[in-house]
Chains A and B, each alone.
Chain A
């Protein structure tokens, strides 16, 4: 009887610890980052020929950690509520594309930088996780991820680099474009940017 209870206790402790380990925002970010790094450094995925496949895998890993709709809504700010459901869907896709491509460019330039996971602050269903990227020249780039808990997953809705928020940056730009030339013009600009990037990718 005692041994059975002891074994059950040990079993529960292990199970709860492992599931608790993967529940922290810091650990979930580490999981995603490790996955992306392994795709980048995998010899079977190297080379220009494998570029598209590599990008697809990285994109999939990023999709699981980033809440694109939340980011798009925050970036569009006061103009979000005026959009129709179709416009909202279209905008989320365009914004996701814009960010994923920018992110992809930076990721593909990875050349062995060290990633240091610093502290994290959890406040209910909100969290902030600090990460440092240490370059080969020992330059430190501080990154702060802001996450919201949705179910068991912590999803990123903003990134601050050197104290500058990505969402705030786009919010200011989008706001000024919309006020100057309208929402349709913003969509046009985003679509133009996308086709430009697609052409670049096709060439490489």
Chain B
């Protein structure tokens, strides 16, 4: 009887541990368990300089969405982003790729525009700004042009 109790206790403990581990990894990995609630927009960048799938979308310093996919299209990068339904993006909003700090992770910052036209799900943000390439700037500064 005693052995059975101990084994049961161990089993329950391990199960509880696994459940906690699962919960933690999902929360930390920020996976959306309940389908993706939101809509998609896309933008074309000549260069994304290290932006990754899952990189954040930031408006006014607030993280509002994520990069869903990045694909090469005609030697440019087509970036697909997901945003919550209540965040409306105007037709003349500007999406720029910025870096956290000077050498941190890349993210997309969107500055809202003045147009009355709101982008419908699946449409393109036309105004984009590629990231400032630090190495390029340094080389321009150090070597200049011959």
A binding-site residues for B, Cβ under 8 Å:
73-81, 126, 137-140, 146, 158, 160, 162-165, 167-168, 171-172, 175
Contact = CB atoms under 8 A, between A and B. Distances in A.
B116 interface: yes
Contacts of A76: 114
Interface stretch (B12-20, B23-31, B62-70, B123-131): B123-131
A89 B42 CA distance: 33
A74 B90 CA distance: 10
Contacts of A164: 129, 132
Contacts of A165: 94, 96, 127, 129
23 contacts: A73-B114, A74-B115, A77-B90, A78-B113, A79-B114, A81-B116, A126-B126, A138-B144, A138-B145, A138-B146, A139-B144, A139-B145, A146-B127, A163-B129, A164-B129, A164-B132, A165-B96, A165-B129, A168-B96, A168-B127, A171-B111, A172-B111, A175-B111
A85 to B, nearest CB: 14
Chain B interface mostly: loop
B127 A158 contact: yes
Interface of B: 90, 92, 94, 96, 111-116, 126-127, 129-130, 132, 144-146
B114 A163 contact: no
A79 B72 CA distance: 36
B94 A167 contact: yes
B92 A163 contact: no
Contacts of A81: 114, 116
Contacts of A73: 92, 114-115
Pairs A-B, 5 closest by C-beta atoms: A80-B114, A73-B114, A138-B145, A168-B94, A77-B114
B130 A74 contact: no
Contacts of B113: 74, 77-78, 171
Contacts of A126: 126
A146 B115 CA distance: 16
A80 B117 CA distance: 13
Contacts of A137: 144-145
A64 B50 CA distance: 40
B33 to A, nearest CB: 34
A137 B111 CA distance: 36
B45 to A, nearest CB: 11
Nearest to B93: A77
Contacts of B129: 160, 163-165, 168
A138 B94 CA distance: 32
Nearest to B146: A138
Contacts of A160: 129
B112 A78 contact: yes
B52 to A, nearest CB: 20
